[in-house]
Structures are given as structure tokens and as C-alpha cells.
Amino acid sequence: MKGFTVTTAISGGHKLTGTAFSCTTGFNVFDADRELGVLTAGHCDNTLTYQGIAAPLVFQSEQNVGDYDVQWHKEPPRGAPHAQTNEISLINGPSQTLEITSTLPSSSTHVGDVICKSGIHGHYACGTIEDMNSRSNHNGAIGRYIRARNLSPGPLSVEGDSGGPVFSNNAALGVIHGRGGEDTGFENDLFYMPIERVSALGVTVLTEAFEVTGIADRTENYFRPFSVPVAYKGVPKFPIELTLERPVCPSGPCEPATETLPDKMPSPLNYTWACFYPIVLYPPPVIPPPPLTWRERITLKDASGITAEPVEYNLHCSGCPDCP
């Protein structure tokens, strides 16, 4: 009996196991080639295994001195692609997941603002910003981090939370750097690196879900192939499977059609289609097809199994300049 490959979604707020200790994933990100990955703290091991995936993640790059404490990894190169969305996991939080729809740089936050975090050991917790420019020695250089204090008694961050996401509502604020040292007065405080500094790695936080954003209505001649642009947002994994259905079909063919788009393509994606009609060629005279309108439904599914909500448009077919 053949087995089926079960994929694991990669997102923020999950356990990363290294040689020395464990850390937490931050936010999903993508680079200039629109390759997806995930953040964690730079001081975590470079060889890390994501919970539920046997092979280690693939280290890409890091900044781990002074102001910077961040690295990013891609999924293992073998096996089925893993789904990566603009969501993070909230451990013991008010909901299981949280959609990240924006980033909020440190210039837009202030002392007294409420921030929240999620970590594998400290779980979901919230606090208030106490210092926007807290200085500490990180790997031999003075770094500036944002310091926050728990709204409840006890530490806001504990060992294992490093690299985890810091956020406010649906906005990404930063990556957990650590907590205050013993006898500093900040033992229960969380320190985090502002989110804008991840640009030093050449990556951008993923803030959009994979969605079809629009397909314009069209008017075309019969039997002449044409290209249909399908606008989308988000960062899907290729190849993409495009399925066309006809919920309103005044004339055949009406069966679903599927096309695979193998190469990475920025929005819009394009597929080729044509207006069809069963005409009788013999005996003459040939009667041109009548003007008809089809309702077309397009569904996109990326290589990791993420399926965008279907979008419909009208295809008006008329005229047959190539008919005999």
C-alpha cells in the first residue's frame, strides 16, 4: 500500500531545534527572487530543524552583531513543498493563528505602546514598551534594541523564545533578541530587534495571502486563441495549477480544463484559451456561431497545496473571421 506525503506548514511561533538549544521561528519572508523562508534570531544555531520536518532547514544568511540579531532559512530542498503563509502561530493565545498584514517600523512605535509575542516556552504574552533605545553588548559590539515589560508578573520572554515574532494587532514589529541579565533590573523584560532591520538580509516580511485579485471581462472572436491575464497577490510556490470551469456554458465544451504554469511569473499569470462552438462544416452553407456569453471560473493552486479562492469573469464570444 503506497503512502502519501504529508507536508507541514512553516510559520512563525514554532519550535526550531539546534545543536546547543532550541529557538522559535519569527515571520515568513521572501527574497528578491520571490523564494520563501522563515526568520529566527541570529544567535541561534545555523543548523536548525523545524518541528515536524525531518531534514534541517537550509541556512541562507545572518546578521549577528551589534544592532542585528537575525537569520533566515529556506525549507529543505527535497520532498513536497511546505505551505508558507502570512500567518504566525499563537501558543496559548486568544486564537490559534494570527494573520500578518503589515509591518510597523520602530519609528512608528513609542514608549507605552502595547506589544505581544509568541515563543515556544514563554508562549503568548503582551507587555508595554519601556525603552526604545536600550543598549547592550551583542557579540562584541554595542547594539540598540527595544525593551518591553510584561503586563503580568513574571518574565515576558524565556529561554527558547529567541527569534519569535513580536507584533501589534496584525503588524509585525520585530524578532525576539532575549531578556535582561540577572541583577540588571531587567530580568523580566523582553528585548527585540525592530522589524525594519531584516532588510539587511535582503528579505521582506510576507504580509499578503495568495489570492486572485481580478480577471477582466473579455470579448473575443470564435476559434482564435487569446491570452488571459490573471492578477494575483502574495508569494505562491511554483508550479501553479490553473483550473478553468464554466458554471454558465451555453455551448460545449463545458468540461473543466487544467493547465500547469511551471515557471515563476510575477502578476499577472497568463493562460491561453479560445472561444469554441460546434459548427457544421458540411453541407454548405456554413452558419457562423451566434454571439454567446460564457461564465468562466478560475482557480489557482500552488505547489504547496495553497488554493486561492476562485474568481469568475464573463467571456463574450462573437464573430468568426476564420470561418469558411
Domains of the chain from N-terminus onward: 15-205 (2.40.10.10), 211-317 (2.60.40.3580)
Task: Walk along the chain (324 residues) and give the pLDDT tens digit of each residue.
Answer: 333 344 589 999 999 999 989 999 999 999 999 999 999 999 999 999 999 999 999 999 999 999 999 999 999 999 899 999 999 999 899 999 999 999 999 999 999 999 999 999 999 999 999 999 999 899 999 999 999 999 888 899 999 999 999 999 999 999 999 998 776 778 899 999 999 999 999 999 999 999 999 999 999 999 899 999 999 999 999 999 999 999 999 987 789 999 999 989 899 999 999 998 876 555 555 677 899 999 999 999 999 999 999 999 999 999 888 776
- The number of helix segments (H) and strand segments (E) in the chain equals 0, 25
SS3 141: strand
Q: List, in order, residues 6 or more apart from 108 with CB less than 8 Å away.
A: none
Distance separating alpha carbons of residues 58 and 295, to the nearest angstrom: 44
Distance separating alpha carbons of residues 141 and 79, to the nearest angstrom: 40
Instruction: Tell me what pLDDT residue 279 has.
Output: 65
Question: What is the model's pTM?
Answer: 0.91
Instruction: Tell me what pLDDT residue 25 has.
Output: 98
Instruction: Tell me what pLDDT residue 6 has.
Output: 44
Q: What's the DSSP call for residue 104?
A: -
Instruction: Tell me what pLDDT residue 220 has.
Output: 96
Distance separating alpha carbons of residues 70 and 216, to the nearest angstrom: 42
**Amino acid sitting at position 249:** C
Dihedral in degrees, nearest 10, Cα atoms 35, 39, 43, 44 = -90
Cell numbers given for 220: 473575443
Distance separating alpha carbons of residues 206 and 73, to the nearest angstrom: 14
